[in-house]
């Protein structure tokens, strides 16, 4: 009888498993992570390159023929068509929710052992290129972070890496995406530290650096060595401008607060609309109307940023109804002020209608406009000569720092994007003050606040991070013998003789509701008195627990309840029905295990 031949798929699987076994024996984990980070950086860099190319191709195809000296009614059509195509793609091809990319990555790190689905390696990239190319007023950076993180997660999963290594590879993918799309390797690494809140350890520093540098190198090789936004500092920064730089920092912090609050308000509004068609109509109407009135809101808006940094201010009115007012300084100032106020509505309408994109580019955009607006208005009101170009650059750093709660990343990204390293001191001042201003009102970034509210956010605070990784379902103990309130003391003693616990939940036999508990120490003085066996019942000596824990509570809430009550064991209920008990000692044992695993270098 002949030996059955294996299929090609089976032979490939066997070869792959043999490779993994060989790797475990001959290549240390630290070395292998470095190799994987290089692969992730390369793939993330190419993903960023493909995304930028697709967006530019679609946008150029649709808008290159539009007149610049009049309003264009196609702006009413393009954004809605783009969002419609995106909605159909997401619903019938992807069949998954791929919005809020950075928040999804944060959730995967905190709650899903850093595992992302395979389709995330391409779905966000394709959907966002359609949305933005057709005029959606969002950024490509959120989707590329999602894409890069998914590449790192899936590559690590295929190589059978543990969750703590997957977390590093997710960060590597995100860093490569940011570095590749902006040609900013330092900013890519800082993004993972400040926004994704991955700790900088001896294990993570080298992979993150390698991925960021590799992603940026891919961008430089294929698109040249020019910075993303061409900027020449024709006007040197003078120390006499520092008071106004300080004011700009506070101003951009308040603009960041406005951006964050309106974004959340609009998201709640669109969340209240149940019909997908209604969302598309409402969001499409808001977006297309705003783009028709303010054409710089079309797409990422990088053209408007380049115009302001290059000194070509009048071009911001191109393709609008107000082209004839290009030389009217006050009109341009009002126009830019309205753009600052409406950009967040255009961005939230794009996502609310079903488009796919991030808030990274919009915060850069609003920051540039805010800095220019602040300097121009100050100059005209007080007869000063502040450099509007320099202040536009500082504004980019300020708003990004405030919206993302990432001052270091904002400083280095702005400098790397524009080559404006000569303005490092004012960039530091504006970013720090903006971050400090918004921090007084919003403790978390626009990406993290939803997870933080649900207690699902992993942070640099080690205790809180470990508690976030712990799940109450994993520490519930169910080996407690239950009793009912109608049991006699004799029956209670019989239950005690069969149990190895000193605590007994009292449960209603009809509906399973927890009524109380019996503590062995509290009945020790009567349990050996036979004369009371048929005269006393459980309901007469049971006690009320100091508190109960609801199924699904965060571990931080559970520990706070233990601290408030001083108890060592607390019952766990689900809508009042008894589930089990959770003990402080079991949590401490799990805490030590997770902390050891989480901190392992």
What strand order describes the sheet that includes 569-574? 476-477, 577-583, 569-574, 549-550
How does pLDDT run across 46-69, given as a tens digit for each residue?
A: 999 999 999 999 999 999 888 888
Count of beta carbons in the 10 Å neighbourhood of residue 199: 19
Using DSSP bridges, classify how beta strands 503-507 and 514-519 pair: parallel, antiparallel or unpaired.
antiparallel
At residue 466, the pLDDT reads: 47
Q: pLDDT exceeding 90 applies to what percent of the chain?
A: 42
Q: What is the Cα–Cα distance from 78 to 61, expressed in whole angstroms? A: 11
CA pair distance 355, 348, nearest whole angstrom: 9
Q: What pLDDT score was predicted for residue 460?
A: 43
Q: Span 465-598: which CATH code?
A: 3.10.580.10
Q: Is the pLDDT of residue 1 over 60?
A: no
What CATH number matches the domain at 24-223, 3.20.20.60, 2.40.50.140, 1.20.120.430, 1.10.3080.10?
1.10.3080.10
pLDDT at 290 over 90: yes
Q: Which pLDDT tens digit goes with each residue over 220-244?
A: 999 888 777 766 666 777 888 899 9
**CA angle, residues 61, 147, 369, in degrees to nearest 5:** 60
Q: Which residues pair with 503 in a beta bridge?
A: 519
Q: Which of 18-22, 189-193, 586-590 has the lowest mean pLDDT?
A: 586-590
In whole angstroms, give the CA distance from residue 338 to residue 384.
Answer: 23
| pLDDT (mean) for 530-547 | 85
H or E stretch at 23 = helix 8-26
The domain limits of the chain are: 24-223, 239-461, 465-598
Asked if the model's pLDDT at residue 461 lies above 50, the reply is: no
pLDDT at 23: 82
Indicate if the pLDDT at residue 186 is higher than 50. yes
Burial class (CB in 10 A: 0-12, 13-18, 19+), 413: buried
Any alpha helices (H) in 27-68, and if so which ranges? 29-63
**Integer Cα distance of 597 and 377 in angstroms:** 55
What is the per-residue pLDDT for 96? 87
Q: Report pLDDT digits (tens) over 303-349.
A: 888 888 888 888 899 888 888 888 888 999 999 999 999 999 999 99
pLDDT of residue 371: 96
Give helix 276-293 / helix 242-271 axis angle, nearest 10°: 150
Between CA 520 and CA 501 the distance in angstroms is: 9
**Which one is predicted more confidently, 381 or 228?**
381
Q: What is the mean pLDDT of residues 566-573?
A: 86
Residue 596 has pLDDT above 70, yes or no: no
According to the model, what pLDDT value does residue 591 have?
57
Residue 510 — very low, low, confident or very high, per pLDDT cuts 50/70/90?
A: confident
Residue 199: pLDDT over 70: no
Is it the case that residue 70 has pLDDT exceeding 90?
Answer: no
Instruction: Assess whether the region 24-223 and the region 239-461 belong to the same CATH fold.
Output: yes
pLDDT, residue 216, reads: 94
Superfamily of 239-461 according to CATH: Clc chloride channel (1.10.3080.10)
Pair of tokens at residue 158: 């295929």
Comparing 585 with 261, the larger pLDDT belongs to 261
In sign, the C-alpha dihedral spanning 33, 225, 47, 287 is positive
Burial of 417 (0-12, 13-18, 19+ CB in 10 A): buried
Q: What's the pLDDT at 470?
A: 55
Strand 569-574 and strand 549-550: the pairing is parallel
- In this prediction, residues 540-558 reach a mean pLDDT of 83
- The token pair at 275 is 């019909």
The confidence score (pLDDT) of residue 269 equals 93
Per-residue confidence at 405, pLDDT binned at 50, 70, 90?
A: confident
How far apart, in Å, are the Cα atoms of 52 and each of 48, 156, 295, 408, 517? Answer: 6, 26, 20, 25, 63
Is there a contact between 152 and 169 (Cβ–Cβ < 8 Å)? yes
Q: What is the pLDDT of residues 105-144, one digit of tens each?
A: 877 776 667 789 999 999 999 999 999 999 999 998 889 9
Average pLDDT over residues 185-200: 82
> What is the pLDDT confidence band of residue 480, given thresholds at 50, 70 and 90?
confident
Instruction: Quick: pLDDT tens for 83-101.
Output: 999 999 999 999 888 887 7
The C-alpha atoms of residue 51 and residue 358 are separated, in whole angstroms, by 13
- Count the residues in the chain: 601
Cβ burial, residue 586 (10 Å; 0-12/13-18/19+) = middle
Structure confidence by residue, pLDDT tens digits, 162-184: 888 888 999 999 999 999 998 88
Under a CB-based contact definition with an 8 Å cutoff, are residues 571 and 548 in contact? yes
Percent of the chain clearing pLDDT 70 (strictly above): 90
In angstroms, the CA 433 to CA 407 distance is: 9
pLDDT of residue 234: 65
Residues 427 and 411 sit within 8 Å (Cβ to Cβ): yes
- Cα of first residue to Cα of last residue in the chain, in angstroms, is 53
What burial class does residue 165 get, using C-beta atoms within 10 Å of its C-beta: 0-12 exposed, 13-18 middle, 19+ buried?
buried
At residue 287, the pLDDT reads 95
Going by pLDDT thresholds of 50, 70 and 90, the confidence category of residue 472 is: low
Q: Provide the pLDDT for residue 592.
A: 56
CB 368 within 8 A of CB 404: no
Q: Distance (Å, rounded) from C-alpha 44 to C-alpha 263? A: 28
Whether 20 contacts 158, CB under 8 Å:
no
Confidence of residue 78 (pLDDT cuts 50, 70, 90): very high
Q: What is the mean pLDDT of residues 207-228?
A: 90
> Would you place residue 75 in the very low, low, confident or very high pLDDT band (cuts 50, 70, 90)?
very high
């Amino acid at each position: 009888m002949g030996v059955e031949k294996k299929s090609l798929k089976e032979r490939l699987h066997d070869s792959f498993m043999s490779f993994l076994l060989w790797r475990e024996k001959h290549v240390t984990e630290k070395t292998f992570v470095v190799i994987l980070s290089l692969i992730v950086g390369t793939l993330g860099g190419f993903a960023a390159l493909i995304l930028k190319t697709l967006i530019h191709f679609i946008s150029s195809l649709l808008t290159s023929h539009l007149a610049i000296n009049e309003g264009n009614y196609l702006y009413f059509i393009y954004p809605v068509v783009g969002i419609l195509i995106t909605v159909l793609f997401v619903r019938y091809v992807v069949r998954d929710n791929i919005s809020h990319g950075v928040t999804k990555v944060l959730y995967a790190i905190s709650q899903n052992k850093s595992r992302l689905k395979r389709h995330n390696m391409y779905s966000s990239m394709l959907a966002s290129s359609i949305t933005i190319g057709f005029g959606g007023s969002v950024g490509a950076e959120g989707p590329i972070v999602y894409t890069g993180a998914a590449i790192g997660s899936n590559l690590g999963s295929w190589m059978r890496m543990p969750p703590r290594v997957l977390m590093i590879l997710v960060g590597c993918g995100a860093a490569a995406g940011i570095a590749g799309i902006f040609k900013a390797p330092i900013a890519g690494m800082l993004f993972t530290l400040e926004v994704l809140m991955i700790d900088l350890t001896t294990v993570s520093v080298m992979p993150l650096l390698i991925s960021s540098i590799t992603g940026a190198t891919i961008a430089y090789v294929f698109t040249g060595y020019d910075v993303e936004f061409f900027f020449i500092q024709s006007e040197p920064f003078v120390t006499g401008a520092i008071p106004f730089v300080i004011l700009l920092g506070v101003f951009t912090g308040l603009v960041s607060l406005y951006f964050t609050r309106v974004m959340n308000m609009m998201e709640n509004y669109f969340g209240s609309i149940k019909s997908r068609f209604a969302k598309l109509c409402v969001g499409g109407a808001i977006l297309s109307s705003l783009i028709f009135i303010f054409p710089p809101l079309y797409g990422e808006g990088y053209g408007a940023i380049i115009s302001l940094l290059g000194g070509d201010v009048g071009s911001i009115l191109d393709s609008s109804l107000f082209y004839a007012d290009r030389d009217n300084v006050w009109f341009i100032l009002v126009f830019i002020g309205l753009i600052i106020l409406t950009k967040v509505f255009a961005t939230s309408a794009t996502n609310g209608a079903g488009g796919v994109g991030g808030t990274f580019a919009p915060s850069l955009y609003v920051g540039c406009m805010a800095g220019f607006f602040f300097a121009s208005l100050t100059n005209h009101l007080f007869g000063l000569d502040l450099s509007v170009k320099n202040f536009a650059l500082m504004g980019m750093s300020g708003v990004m720092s405030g919206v993302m709660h990432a001052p270091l990343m904002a400083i280095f990204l702005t400098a790397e994007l524009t080559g404006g390293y000569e303005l490092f001191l004012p960039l530091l001042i504006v970013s720090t003050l903006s971050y400090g201003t918004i921090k007084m009102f919003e403790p978390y970034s626009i990406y993290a606040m939803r997870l933080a509210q649900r207690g699902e956010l992993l942070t640099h605070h080690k205790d809180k991070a470990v508690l976030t990784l712990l799940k109450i379902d994993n520490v519930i103990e169910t080996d407690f013998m239950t009793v009912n309130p109608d049991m006699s003391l004799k029956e209670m003693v019989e239950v005690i003789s069969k149990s190895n616990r000193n605590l007994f939940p009292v449960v209603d036999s009809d509906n399973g509701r927890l009524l109380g508990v019996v503590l062995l120490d509290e009945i020790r003085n009567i349990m050996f008195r036979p004369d009371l066996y048929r005269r006393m019942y459980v309901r007469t000596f049971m006690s009320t627990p100091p508190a109960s824990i609801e199924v699904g509570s965060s571990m931080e809430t559970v520990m706070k309840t233990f601290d408030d009550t001083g108890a060592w064991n607390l019952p766990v209920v689900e809508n009042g029905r008894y589930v089990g008990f959770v003990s402080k000692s079991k949590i401490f044992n799990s805490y030590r295990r997770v902390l050891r695993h989480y901190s392992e270098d």
